[in-house]
């Protein structure tokens, strides 16, 4: 009798444990598919913001003005994109998207940002010792940047119970390194309405 009760109890525990486990499902999606699951900053926001800001910068005359005075394409380096928002945002992705979009226009030249430039310099210095004299890259031949691109991400959140608006303000500016003159300033905002329904019995 005791064994029967113990067996039934054991079966109930197993059934309860199996019922509590969750199954994981993963589906591959096209990277262009727009999804917004949480209302937080996501890949769609990055694509929208960088497209708008790069297009805005290319509509102004800073490239043509530079070409007229210097008879060459301007050289740009991407500086810091600061995260001043209320959530974690990987601003390195935004910076890389800016870099890709600008260089792919064929109208500007880009040089490596600070982190990658340090790696290149280390490699070039080591070549002076370890590579043959004929193949070693020369020192002091870096291409100097004419402009630096900098920016920031900020958020404003307004919420009441079950509902919130979250606005992302992404600003960027191009600064002439020699004169510190700003040749372009742009901003693009994304506003989201987030509603959470509560279910009761």
Q: Is the pLDDT of residue 27 over 70?
A: no
Domain count, the chain: 1
CA distance 83 to 76: 21
How far apart, in whole angstroms, are the C-alpha atoms of residue 24 and residue 26?
A: 7
Selected residue with higher pLDDT from 33 and 162: 162
Task: Name which residue leads in pLDDT, 17 or 195.
Answer: 195
CA distance 146 to 88: 31
Would residue 133 count as lying in a domain?
A: no
Contact 83, 168 (CB under 8 A): no
Q: Tell which residue, 141, 73, 138, 151, has the closest CA to residue 107.
A: 73
The span from the CA of 143 to the CA of 21, in Å, is 58
State the number of CA atoms in the 13 A half-sphere of 121 facing the CB.
11
Q: Do 184 and 57 form a contact (C-beta atoms < 8 A)?
A: yes
pLDDT in tens, 55-90: 998 899 999 999 999 999 999 999 999 999 888 888
Q: Are 145 and 111 spatial neighbours (Cβ–Cβ below 8 Å)?
A: yes
Does residue 106 belong to any structural domain of this protein?
Answer: yes
Instruction: Please indicate, yes or no, if residue 104 is contained in any of the structural domains.
Output: yes
Higher-pLDDT residue of 185, 19: 185
> Residue 119 — φ and ψ, nearest 5°?
-65, -40
Query: Does residue 45 belong to any structural domain of this protein?
Result: yes
Q: Where do the DSSP E strands lie in the chain?
A: 75-84, 109-110, 147-160, 163-176, 182-195
Instruction: Report pTM.
Output: 0.75
Cross-strand pairs, 191: 167
Q: Note the pLDDT of residue 159.
A: 82
Asked if residue 122 belongs to a domain, the reply is: yes
Instruction: Indicate the pLDDT class of residue 201, thresholds 50, 70 and 90.
Output: very low
What pLDDT, on the 0 to 100 scale, is given for residue 14?
Answer: 64
In whole angstroms, give the CA distance from residue 143 to residue 194.
47
Residue 132 placed within a domain: no
Q: State the CATH number of the domain containing residue 53.
A: 3.40.50
Share of the chain above pLDDT 70, in %: 81
> Is residue 77 one of the residues assigned to a domain?
yes
Residues in Cβ contact with 32 at an 8 Å cutoff, skipping those fewer than 6 apart:
none
Mean pLDDT value of segment 168-186 = 95
> Hey, what are 46's tokens?
């990055």
**CB 73 within 8 Å of CB 109:** yes
Domain membership of residue 65 (yes or no) is yes
| pLDDT of 136 higher than 50 | yes
Domain hosting residue 98, numbered range = 39-127+142-153+170-187
| 5 backbone φψ class: left, alpha, beta (φ>0; ψ -120 to 50) | alpha
């Amino acid at each position: 009798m005791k064994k029967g009760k113990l067996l039934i109890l054991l079966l109930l525990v197993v059934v309860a444990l199996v019922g509590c486990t969750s199954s994981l499902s993963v589906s591959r999606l096209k990277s262009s598919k727009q999804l917004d699951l949480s209302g937080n900053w996501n890949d769609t926001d990055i694509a929208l913001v960088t497209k708008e800001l790069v297009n805005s910068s290319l509509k102004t005359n800073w490239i043509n003005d530079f070409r007229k005075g210097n008879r060459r394409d301007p050289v740009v380096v991407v500086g810091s994109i600061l995260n001043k928002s209320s959530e974690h945002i990987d601003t390195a992705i935004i910076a890389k998207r800016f870099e890709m979009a600008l260089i792919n226009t064929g109208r500007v030249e880009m040089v490596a940002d600070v982190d990658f430039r340090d790696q290149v310099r280390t490699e070039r210095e080591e070549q002076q010792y370890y590579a043959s004299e004929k193949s070693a890259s020369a020192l002091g031949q870096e291409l100097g940047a004419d402009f630096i691109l900098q920016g920031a991400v900020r958020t404003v959140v307004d919420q009441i119970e079950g509902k919130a608006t979250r606005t992302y303000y992404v600003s960027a500016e191009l600064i002439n390194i020699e004169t510190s003159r700003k040749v372009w300033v742009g901003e693009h905002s994304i506003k989201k309405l987030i509603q959470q329904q509560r279910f009761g019995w």
